[in-house]
């Protein structure tokens, strides 16, 4: 079977069975081509909730599939590859955050949406990479413990200096691999290019950027900009996608190492297995966990996330 034939089969089966395929922007182009929606983590979740399909396949990682299930508990949600986790989302557990809450009783806990449902259930409000600054500014409290990404947390802290923000160690190993020296070298090699980064990058890398935002934010910026060259500081799949969408512009990876092994686990063949009902992993969640983990997401929506 060729790639094209497999894609045609996936499209046929998903139409016949009314399946919605959500594809995170870090997936490869052959998977993009069978998507109903492509986007960043939370955008996809909202698309799934609006979709009339009863079965949703999430091509991404575990926390994304959990968030889809939390917002659409009546739907059957399948994660495209059973082992696709996220080391950042899973680096703390519920008990560790509960202990921190005891140590810092007058702090409210803000969680990046890229966390497990279990972690969300002990937090006050979630934020996305694009809404974090706006939401933290709008919160009616001044003392904040920001989890789990210290890079995104530092970025927020720099822009909301009026609040007392505590951070934990850790973050996304894929983005944190990029160093400021690499950013300076890339800028020197491409002096006309704008540097666009995800705020999961180290603060010293983000400080050198011309734009920092979510995956879809970076793509929208590059498409709209009049500039002709861009250095991309996020998962390297985005370099290829942008190059295909804007062939008249030039895109360079900030680092050859910015590759997420978990995001790259899913192949087109996995998606084919999922639509045939012989692959992926169905997300099962306890209704009480759904209710507890939804609370900070609803709070996020209330504050304009
Ligand atoms: P967004 O898709 O929200 O930009 O998050 C980036 C990421 O690392 C997803 O795994
Ligand atoms: Fe997790 Fe980072 Fe990979 Fe996203 S890119 S799935 S945050 S490890």
pLDDT tens for each residue of the chain, 305 residues long: 999 999 999 999 999 999 999 999 999 999 999 999 998 888 888 888 888 999 999 999 999 999 999 999 999 999 999 999 999 999 999 999 999 999 999 999 999 999 999 999 999 999 998 889 999 999 999 999 999 999 999 999 999 999 999 999 889 999 999 999 999 999 999 999 999 999 999 999 999 999 999 898 999 999 999 999 999 999 999 999 999 999 999 999 999 999 999 999 999 999 999 999 999 999 999 999 999 999 999 999 888 76
Phi/psi-derived region of residue 277, left when phi > 0, alpha when psi is between -120 and 50, beta in every other case:
left
Could you tell me if 46 and 194 lie in one domain? no
Atom of ligand 2 nearest to the CA of 63: 6
Could you tell me if 79 and 102 lie in one domain? no
Could you tell me if 53 and 188 lie in one domain? no
79 within domain boundaries? yes
211 within domain boundaries? yes
- 101: closest CA among 143, 141, 142? 143
* Ligand 1 pocket member 149 (CB < 6 A): no
pLDDT at site 293: 96
Q: What pTM was estimated for this model as a whole?
A: 0.93
Could you tell me if 34 and 59 lie in one domain? yes
Could you tell me if 208 and 222 lie in one domain? yes
* Ligand 2 pocket member 88 (CB < 6 A): yes
- CATH code, domain with 18: 3.40.50.10800
Could you tell me if 243 and 272 lie in one domain? no
Tokens 């007392």 correspond to 164
Q: How far apart are CA 254 and CA 183, in angstroms?
A: 6
48 within domain boundaries? yes
Contact indicator for 231, 189 with CB cutoff of 8 Å: no
Q: How far apart are CA 105 and CA 127, in angstroms?
A: 21
pLDDT at site 305: 61
pLDDT at site 198: 96
Say whether the peptide bond before residue 148 is cis (omega within 30 degrees of 0): yes
Cα 1 to middle of ligand 1, angstroms: 32
Question: What Å distances lie between residue 230 and 16, 44, 176, 209, 256, CA to CA?
Answer: 41, 25, 20, 11, 15
75 within domain boundaries? yes
Question: What Å distances lie between residue 248 and 72, 189, 222, 251, CA to CA?
Answer: 40, 20, 12, 10
- 71: closest CA among 148, 139, 126, 108? 126
pLDDT at site 131: 86
Q: Which of 200, 236, 238 to mutate to test the pocket of ligand 1 (most atoms within 8 A of CB)?
A: 200
Total Cβ atoms within 10 A of residue 90: 16
Range of the domain at 153: 94-173+290-302
Cα 113 to middle of ligand 1, angstroms: 9
Could you tell me if 79 and 100 lie in one domain? no
Cα 156 to middle of ligand 2, angstroms: 19
Q: How far apart are CA 237 and CA 251, in angstroms?
A: 11
Could you tell me if 124 and 148 lie in one domain? yes
89 within domain boundaries? no
Contact indicator for 82, 61 with CB cutoff of 8 Å: no
pLDDT at site 256: 92
258 within domain boundaries? no
What domain count does the chain have? 3
What beta strand segments (E) does the chain contain? 19-24, 37-39, 55-59, 76-79, 108-112, 125-127, 143-147, 164-167, 194-197, 211-212, 229-233, 250-253, 281-282
- Residue 249, CB-side half-sphere exposure with 13 Å CA sphere: 26
280 within domain boundaries? yes
The ligand minimizing its distance to the Cα of 264 is 2
Could you tell me if 104 and 149 lie in one domain? yes
* Ligand 1 pocket member 172 (CB < 6 A): yes
Could you tell me if 236 and 276 lie in one domain? no
pLDDT at site 43: 84
Q: How far apart are CA 148 and CA 90, in angstroms?
A: 9
- Its sign, for the CA torsion 41, 47, 48, 50, is positive
């Amino acid at each position: 079977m060729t790639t094209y034939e497999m894609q045609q089969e996936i499209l046929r089966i998903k139409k016949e069975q009314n399946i919605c395929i959500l594809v995170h922007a870090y997936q490869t182009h052959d998977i993009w081509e069978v998507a109903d929606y492509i986007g960043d983590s939370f955008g996809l979740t909202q698309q799934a909730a609006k979709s009339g399909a009863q079965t949703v396949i999430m091509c991404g990682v575990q926390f994304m599939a959990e968030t889809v299930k939390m917002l659409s508990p009546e739907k059957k949600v399948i994660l495209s590859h059973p082992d696709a986790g996220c080391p950042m989302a899973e680096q703390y557990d519920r008990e560790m955050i509960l202990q921190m809450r005891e140590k810092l009783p007058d702090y409210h806990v803000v969680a990046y949406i890229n966390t497990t449902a279990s972690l969300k259930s002990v937090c006050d409000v979630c934020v996305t990479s694009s809404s974090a600054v706006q939401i933290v500014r709008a919160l009616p409290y001044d003392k904040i413990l920001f989890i789990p990404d210290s890079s995104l947390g530092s970025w927020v802290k720099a822009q909301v200096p009026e609040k007392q923000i505590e951070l934990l160690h850790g973050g996304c190993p894929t983005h944190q691999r990029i160093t400021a020296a690499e950013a300076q070298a890339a800028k020197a090699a491409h002096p006309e290019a704008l540097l666009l980064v995800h705020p999961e990058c180290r603060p010293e890398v983000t400080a050198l950027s011309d734009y920092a935002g979510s995956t879809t934010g970076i793509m929208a910026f590059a498409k709209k900009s009049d500039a002709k060259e861009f250095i991309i500081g996020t998962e390297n799949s985005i370099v290829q996608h942008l190059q295909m969408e804007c062939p008249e512009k030039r895109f360079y990876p900030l680092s050859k190492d910015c590759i997420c092994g978990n995001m790259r686990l899913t192949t087109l063949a996995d998606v084919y297995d999922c639509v045939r009902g012989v692959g992926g992993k169905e997300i099962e969640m306890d209704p009480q966990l759904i209710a507890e983990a939804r609370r900070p997401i609803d709070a996020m929506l209330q504050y304009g996330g």
